[in-house]
Structures are given as structure tokens and as C-alpha cells.
Amino acid sequence: MLTVDQDSDWTNSGDALVALDDDKTKGRTDMELLVGTTIIELIYGDITKTNVDCIVNAANTSLLGGGGVDGAIHRAGGIEILEECKEIRARQGGCSVGEAVITTAGKLNAKYVIHTVGPVWNKGINNEEDKLEKCYKNSLDIAVKHNVKSIAFPNISTGIYRFPKLKAAQIAFSSVQSFIEDEKFMDRIQFVCFDEENYQIYLKIFKEKL
């Protein structure tokens, strides 16, 4: 596998892009980067079907489920996730924007679900970029505390919260890069795109890392 020097700028990383799997039914090629000892993967598909220790949920402040990826994770994981979310609500009243909490994964093929609340986009006047960065940072920090070695992220805040997709993807990448540069250990970090537009944005970013 081709590697990226952990201390280098990813834009000068050389041939660090590797085709993993050509999905003939979707016409997509999933990609990976090896940064230090951490594999960064791009996947087009359903995050509830990923095979990782931990799935990140783009939750709302109530932690009671909703639409999009939030609803999909609750449906696939079953009532156990919702019951744990209710217990968290009883202790702390939900989850604030930019923060994250952890539950077990119910019926999902994972050990944990980390629920993080992304910001609603308001033209950037409410520190939305900083809040989105905190979503990734806090999720990764919680994952490390629970000895998670592989984690999958959705495209946080890019649905009904209307965060600009390119800007959100750039924040996601920079947050992961900072995490790795801080010498925090993770075997595998996935970016899982469910829609065409996000996938193409992430694919372009991956290719720019050559």
C-alpha cells in the first residue's frame, strides 16, 4: 500500500490514492489513503452497512431520532439505541451542537454509535464551521476513550441543515488530519457518502491529495 508521511501536507503526498473496489452497479470506485498508520477510506453507500467498531450518527439535540442518516441508524439499530439515548437525555438533557455522546450499537454491525449534533447553516454567522469541526474532534476523542480502532462518519450537517457540502468535506478532512497529527491512534477512518453530490466532492478531494 502507498503511504502518506504523517507530517507532510496531504496535497504533496505523492501517489497515496488506491482503488479499493469498483462497484459495477453504481459505477463508483471506493478509495483509500494511508496517512501514518491510519487508513482513510471513501465509501459510497449506506453507513448502517459498514463494518467498523463505531458508526457516527448525525443526530439532533433531542437524541430521539429524526430523518436522514439519524432515522436510518435508529431504524437499523433498533430500540436499544433509543433507550440509551433516553437515559442520556434524563442525565444531561440531550446533546448540544458540536458535542457528542456514545451508546451501544443495538442490531448494527458495530460496537458503538457516537451521536453528534451538527450545526444548522446560517451563512456562517454563528460559528458553524467551528461547531462542525468540534463534531469530528469530539467524536474521535470519545472513540479513542472507548478503544475504538475503526470509525465511520456520515456527511454531517449537509442534509436538511444545509451546510455547504464542499466546505463540510474540507472541514471533515482537516479534522481527521489534525487528529492523526496529534498522534492519536486509529486503524481506519471512513467517510461514507450516501448521495451523489457528496460522493463526487469527496472523490475530488481524495484525488487532490495526490
User: Which residues are the active-site residues?
Assistant: 70
Bridge partners of 36, per DSSP, are none
| Cβ proximity of 3 and 34 under 8 Å | yes
* All three cell numbers of 187: 486503524
Pairing of strands 100-104, 112-117: antiparallel
| Cβ proximity of 81 and 74 under 8 Å | yes
Chain centroid, CA 112 distance in Å: 13
What's the rounded Cα separation, in Å, for the pair 139 and 127?
Answer: 19
| Cβ proximity of 157 and 118 under 8 Å | yes
CA atoms in the 13 A half-sphere facing the CB of 125: 2
* All three cell numbers of 142: 470519545
| Cβ proximity of 98 and 90 under 8 Å | no
